Structures are given as C-alpha cells and as structure tokens.
Amino acid sequence: MKDIYTLARSPKILDDARIYQILFLSFFLCLGIGTRDWTLRPDLIAVVIVSCLLVQWCLSALVEYAKKKNDHICLTNNTQLSIENIFNPKVISSLQSALITALGLCLLLRGNNYTTMAIASCLAIASKFLFRFHNKHFFNPANFGIISALILTNDAWVSPGQWGTNWWYLLLFAGMGGIVLKKVGRWDTSVAFLLSYASLEAMRNFWLGWGWEVWQHQFMSGSLLLFALFMLTDPRSIPNATISRLIWAVSIAVVTFILQDYFYLSTAIFWALFVISPLTILFDRAWSAPRFTWKRMLVVRD
Amino acid sequence: MKPLRILWSCFLAITIFMVGMQPAQAFCGFYVAKADTNLYNQASQVIISRDGERTVLTMANDYQGEVKDFALVVPVPVILKEEQVHVGNPKILSRLDSFSAPRLVEYFDSNPCEIRAFDEDIMFKTAPQAASMESGLRQERSLGVTIEEQFTVGEYDILILSAKESDGLETWLTHNGYKIPPGAKEILQPYIRQNMKFFVAKVNLTEYDQQGFKKLRPISIAYESPKYMLPIRLGMVNAKQEQDLIVYLLSPQGQTELTNYRTVKVPSDRDIPEFVKAEFKNFYTSMFQKSYERENKQVAFLEYAWDMGSCDPCSAEPLNREELKQAGVFWLNSSSRNLRSPRNNVFITRLHVRYTGDKFPEDLKFQATGNRQLFQGRYVIRHPYTGEMNCSAANEYKRSVRDRQEREVQTLASLTGWNINDIRNKVEFVESQPIPWWRTLWNQ
C-alpha cells in the first residue's frame, strides 16, 4: 500500500493549460501571418520572444536566489547556489508564461523598431516582478507591455481591425478559447465581460437608432473576442473569487464602453484592463479564495 | 411642373446628399451614365489631413449637372465658423491622385549576346476619379432645427445646422426645398443623437457666374475633434450599387488604417504580359473587382503608403509645400508643442473602399499609426529583346522568356479572373526552338 497523503501525482504535461495556450496563440500567429495580410516582421517577433524569455529567466533566477539566500543565511557557497537557481525547475517552468506573454505581444502590438518591441517585452515581464501584492502580480503582463509601448514610444500601435469579422475566425477563437478557459476555470470572466459590453453597446445602438447589423458588426470583431478569451482571463493576475471576477469583468466592460464611445479611443479595451487591474488587490481583500496555480498537485489516497 | 431632382449621393463617402429642386427619382442615379467615361462609376474622393485632433477634410466635387440643382449635406462633429471653411483648387485632387495611383512599370530585356545593357524604366499611371455635389435651399427656422452658422464661401452658400430630432430636420430640409429620400430619417437620427451638426451647402449662382469656373471646386473644412471618422451611411440610403471611395489620408506619423474594418493591400509587384500596357485601366479595374470579391467585399484596400518627400518610381512629381498646404497639411513649419510627432513630415495613405450598405454597416473609423512601411500598387511589364541575336546563349534566353511569358499569363488570369485562353491569344510568345536533350548532356 502506498503511503497516504504524501504522494503527489506528477503533473502530466497536458494538465498545464499553458501548453494549450502556447499552442493556440502560436497557431493564431501563423494564421494571422498566413491569411490576414499583417505587416509583421520576423525580426521583430524574434526580438519580442527573446527579450521576454531572457528577462523572465534572469528575474526569476534572481528571485529564487534571494529566497534561498534568506532561507540559508549562513550558507557560504554562493556560486553553487546561483547555478542551481539558473536551472531551477521552477525558473524553467516560468518560461512558459513568458512565452505566452511574448506571443500575446506578437499578436497585438505593432512597431517599427527593435527598441520599441524590446521595451514592451522587458516591461511586460518586469511588471510581474515589480507590481506584486501578497506575492501575486496584478497587471496582465502583455497588456502592461502594450500600454508601456503606447506611452513610452512613438511608433507603437495596435490594429483593432486586423482580424476582420469572419464567422470562421470567430468560431475558431471561441472553440480554442473555450478549451483553455475550461482548463483554468475562468470562463465566467469572459462571459461576464462579453455580456456586459454587448448589452451596453446594444443599449447605445438602440438609443442612437442604429440597426442590429451595426451591433453585430461590432461584436464580430475577431480582436475583441481574442482579447476577451485570451487576455482578460489570465488566471494569475485576475481576482481569485468568482464574485470578484464577475464585478471586475463588468467594470472593464463599462470602462471600455466609455473610453471607446465617448473618448473615441481605438485602444479602449487595453486601457480599460490597465486601469482596472490594480483593483484586483481590493477585490482579493474583499472576497478571499485560493490562488490559482498552473499545475494542480493532487493528493492521492490509496 | 418642373420636376424636382435630387441627388443624394455619397460624395464624400461622407454622406452627402445631393439635393435639389427637381424630380425625385434621380437619387444616386446621376453617376450611372458615367460608367464608361470614368474608371469607377460612383467614385468619391476625400482628403483628410490630421495631426492629433486637428483635422482638415477636403471633399472633391466632380458634379456635372445643373449647378442650381446642387446641394450637399454632411454630418460634421462640431459647429463650423466661416473661417473654418475654404474653397480650394480642384487640381490638388488630381495631383494627389496621380502621385499615389497604382502604376505600371516596364523594363526592356537586354541583348543576351551583349555583355551589358541598361534597363530603362517608363511609367504609366492609372487615374481613378473623383466625386461631385449640388444644392438649392431656402432658410427657415422651426422644428427644433437651429441654424448655427450661415455664410457664403466662394461659390457656395453654407449653413451649419443642429437638430434635436430627425423628424424636425427632415421636415425642415423638405420645407427648404431639399427632397430627402425615404429612409433618410432613420439614418439622420444617430448623427443627431451623437450631437453631430450638419454641414449644408448649395451653389450661390451669382458668385458662381462671377467667378467663371466651369466646375464646382472642392470644399475644405478645418476642425478639432477626437472623432476620426468618415460618415458613409447617409450616402447609402438610396444606393443599391457598390460605391467607390478613395481617401487620401495625410499624417505626420505614418500609415493610417481603419479600426472597424480590415485594411488589406492590393496585390502588387506582379509581372504581367506586355499587352496589358494598352489596357492597364481595364486590368486594374478587373483586378480590383476580383480582390474585392475574394475578400468577401468587406475590407478597405491600401493602394499606396509612402513618405511624401520621395517616391520610387515616381508616377508624378512629389507635391511641393504649397500644394501640400492646399491638400490641408497644416503642420509644416509649425512649432508644435507635441515633440513626438516629427515635423515637416507628410506620410500619405491611399485607401480605396468599395462599399455597399450590407457589407459596411458602420461609418469608417480611422486611426493614425506609426507604421512607416512603404507600399505601392505596382505592376511590371518586361519586354523581351527583339533584336538580332547571334550567339549560343540566344536559344537559352528565348526559352526562359517563353517560360516567363507563360508565368505572366497565369498571374494575369489569377489576378483578374480573365479567361486564360483569351489571354494566351493576346500574348506574342517568343519562338524558341527546342534544345535536343543530349546537347546539355555533352555540353555541345
């Protein structure tokens, strides 16, 4: 008989939703480049991926090093400690998240120069280490990178119309997004956002006297769906409790609606997420729930 | 009774109603007869120069009916005063058009028996066409409609109206001699609710006769607004057919793109057969139609994106400072506080939108981007060398030309949808004698 309580099932690779996310985002990237006439440059994609991975590696190795140093304050062999940290499985595993951020940036952010893309990538990853509260980062890294590039550089832009409004793409996003959200259990957030944003726009369209075809056109935007399914639902940075996630998603919908329709901001959804993200801290205080971890360690009784 | 005639056209994809005092059945029908004289039968041309929130919008005018019947109604985001409206020189549109038009480039093969010869570039350009307008109205106030401004600029009498309800605006326009097509009320309402104003222009016949212009000149309006859009929905009210709109977007930053529709490049840099030189316009219109259908009729096409300081190859001289000013470029030499936008820089984006009501349910929304990638619609003709060739390389050359010609035929067929056999019949294929297979084996 196996020892009880202590045996953790070693996680299978497909238990990790990040693998799905990496596969799907890479697929979208190839699809966009192949079929959507994007002006994406391979060299800029490389810059984004390399800088995201490098910064993640360095910073998480540094964090691990600092942790261990605290734990073994009297340990003298620093060299061995740092080499261990560089190849620490935790550090290596965190590269997956960095790759997701990199792919998100490649899909959404456009720029002319290496520096622009590098600034966005470095700040995106650095935000995970800088803006933390109770050991949880509260900005979506890719979103933080996009906003930083929009503010700090003069050649960064986002193309909201880049996916068009084809049914085929929408079904694809919805299907793949659904798989990831089922894995991470955050579909409620996407649904709350889409429903509340759709209702607000429907009310505005009704008040203005526009037909349903306008509303339908607004909601068939591939970029909107991709944002709602893949960026808004980052389980590590959004509130932990269901109720707080719902309120959080509705707030983002309201801010997006205001920025889009009353301030005419074409990047409204990114700004809305950026502005609301810090509220995660308050939401987590108000409604507590266990934090999300990518790999669920299941305790087995036998 | 003298029939009332109204042209509700889409002049500026912007909603422009052509309105008048004559029979109502002619809505949007005016352009139909011109199908064989123009490249596109319902084309409008608009220039938008924009830096930050400052905008200069120029609406071209190729209206060719009776000037007294001309009237135009355009929703605008703010109330415009007299000094914000300007009547410009029609030449500026043809200058921008020829500078940015898709181009045909030809190269001549050199004699394969000579060591070196120079390529010669010759260029031809296509010239997509402009739009038009017309007016006639009396003033009167009632029904929640307020005349915010009223003035005459050049040959135009201009009113800036604000309205509370579309019923009132519709009645007001009808009472003042504007025949509004059915369905217009529903389209006007959203603009009123968005607090937009209405720019209404008709021709002042006295001024028009005095100035002696044969054609109506383009109207430019300058305003500041965060809204970067072009209303196209009014122009669609009565139009069943597809309408063409060419927008020249000038920015100090880089390319301008649509945010609520896809912006797609037209096919470019393709080698096509020699005979296309004689029918380039025909080729371009067929190719455009094919691309339009392939993209499910719901995208805007990018035909040109370039820094206006240069061109390569040039289909027309770059515009000089004075001409740029006429096109509405206001930031040159200005000491702007915005350090991020590079001064003395003009980037042109030429978008070609073919739209119908069902595929373009929303007005066009734009955004300026920092994208400085250059793009041009460019098609290449390569003329084979036809002089005497007396060397062993000649046969090899002829074979390669024949292969190239076949590839060009296939490219043309796939670009335009023309019948491949018809194309083959028009191509003068180079005669080449087959090389015996053993010759290459033993290098004879």
Nearest to A266 among B190, B263, B367 (CB): B367
Which residues of chain A make contact with B265, given a CB cutoff of 8 A? 37
How far is B86 from B64, CA to CA, in rounded Å?
A: 21
- Cα distance between residue B319 and residue A94, in whole Å: 54
**Two structure tokens written together for B227:** 């809204």
- The residue among A264, A267, A270 with the most chain B CBs within 10 A of its CB, best to mutate, is A264
Q: How confident is the model at residue A124 (pLDDT cuts 50, 70, 90)?
A: very high
Mean pLDDT over A152-156 rounds to: 91
Q: Which residues in chain B come in under a pLDDT of 50?
A: 1-41, 116-141, 336-341
Query: How many angstroms separate the CA atoms of B316 and B365, rounded?
Result: 29
Across residues A113-118, what is the average pLDDT?
93
Q: What is the CA radius of gyration of chain A?
A: 21
- Going through A20-74 in order, the beta strands assigned E by DSSP cover none
| B351 chain-A contacts, CB cut-off 8 A | none
Put simply, the answer to whether A161 touches B340 (Cβ < 8 Å) is: no
Residue A14, pLDDT score: 55
- A264 pLDDT more than 70: yes
Residues of B in contact with A211 (CB under 8 A): 361
Domain spans in chain A, listed from the N-terminal domain onward = 39-158, 167-286
**Among the listed residues B62, B357, B137, the one whose alpha carbon sits nearest the alpha carbon of residue B234:** B357
Question: Residue B262: its chain A contacts at CB < 8 A?
Answer: 36-37, 161-164
Tens-digit pLDDT profile for residues A225-257:
889 988 888 877 888 888 888 999 999 999 999
What average pLDDT is seen over chain A? 83
**Strand spans (E) along B260-321:** 262-265, 270-271, 299-307
The reply to whether residue B193 touches residue A211, judged by beta carbons under 8 angstroms, is: no
* Distance between start and end Cα atoms, chain B: 89
Do the beta carbons of residue B185 and residue B166 sit within 8 Å? yes
H helix runs in A112-267, sequence order: 114-130, 141-152, 167-184, 187-208, 212-219, 222-226, 242-262
Between B141 and A71, where is the model more confident?
Answer: A71
Q: Do B260 and A217 touch (CB under 8 A)?
A: yes
What ipTM was predicted for this assembly? Answer: 0.84
**pLDDT-derived band at A293, boundaries 50, 70, 90:** low
Distant-in-sequence, close-in-space partners of A141: CB < 8 Å, separation ≥ 6: A97, A101, A124, A125, A127, A128, A234, A237
Question: Do B369 and A159 make contact, defined as CB atoms within 8 angstroms?
Answer: yes
| Residues of chain B contacting residue A214, judged by C-beta atoms under 8 Å apart | 361-362
pLDDT of A6: 35
| Of A164, A211, A266, Cβ closest to residue B298 | A164
Q: What residues in chain A have their Cβ under 8 A from chain B's Cβ atoms?
A: 36-37, 39, 110-112, 153-157, 159-166, 207-211, 213-214, 216-218, 221, 263-264, 266
pLDDT at residue B305 in the model: 94
Instruction: Among B189, B228, B257, select the one facing A209 at the smallest CB separation.
Output: B189
At a CB cut-off of 8 Å and minimum separation 6, what does A105 contact?
A: A48, A52, A117, A120, A121, A124, A142, A145, A146
The pLDDT of residue A73: 57
Which residues from chain A sit within 8 angstroms of residue B228, using beta carbons?
Answer: 264
Q: How far, in Å, CA of B283 to CA of B416, rounded?
A: 7
**Amino acid B349: pLDDT:** 96
Q: Average the pLDDT over A65-76 and give the result.
A: 67
Tell me: the pLDDT tens digits for A204-221? 999 998 888 899 998 888
Worst-scoring range by mean pLDDT, A31-45, A69-83, B57-71, B343-357?
A: A69-83
| Mean pLDDT, residues A279-295 taken together | 75
| A155:B361 CB<8 A | no
Crossing angle for the helix pair A141-152 and A89-108, nearest 10 degrees? Answer: 50
Question: pLDDT tier at A106 (50, 70, 90 boundaries)?
Answer: very high
Residue B422 is inside which H or E element, if any?
helix B420-426
Contact at 8 Å (CB) between B34 and B121?
Answer: no
Q: What pLDDT score was predicted for residue A12?
A: 55
